[in-house]
Amino acid sequence: MASIIFLLVYVDNIIITGNNPKLTALIETLVVQFALKELGKLRYFLGVQVHYLESGLLMNQSKYVDDLLHKLQMTDVKPMPSPGVQGQKLSKNDGQPISDPYIYRSTIGALQYLTHI
């Protein structure tokens, strides 16, 4: 079996995992240079939930999706195959401009993050 160590760094968070027996030595080396704190088993990181199974890990983003739907007040919305009307032609001159584009932009960013993970 191949030996592997994963070191994930995001701002001031570090996740270290792997199957290499020298993992502990790596952590001890990092403790000398950085203020590390053992937080136990990983449960949630950057929108990804981690569940431990006997056969491995189960990772999903259901909490991230639930939080996004709650933020957008869309928890009671029914699913549909397409949010648009078929055959409708859109024009930049139709409708009203969005008064605050932040919600639109942050929603698009959250959906992109959801689909890229």
Average pLDDT for the chain: 87
**pLDDT digit string, tens, across residues 74-97:** 999 888 887 777 888 888 888 888
For the chain, domain boundaries: 1-40, 42-78+97-117
* Residue whose tokens read 């053992």: 38
Nearest in space to 5 (alpha carbons), one of 48, 39, 13, 15? 15
Tell me how crowded residue 114 is: count the other CB atoms within 10 A of its CB: 13
**pLDDT digit string, tens, across residues 5-52:** 888 888 888 888 888 888 888 888 988 988 888 888 889 988 899 999
Give the helix/strand (H/E) hosting 109. helix 101-116
Q: What is the pTM of this model?
A: 0.68
**How crowded is the C-beta side of 101, counted as CA atoms within 13 Å?**
4
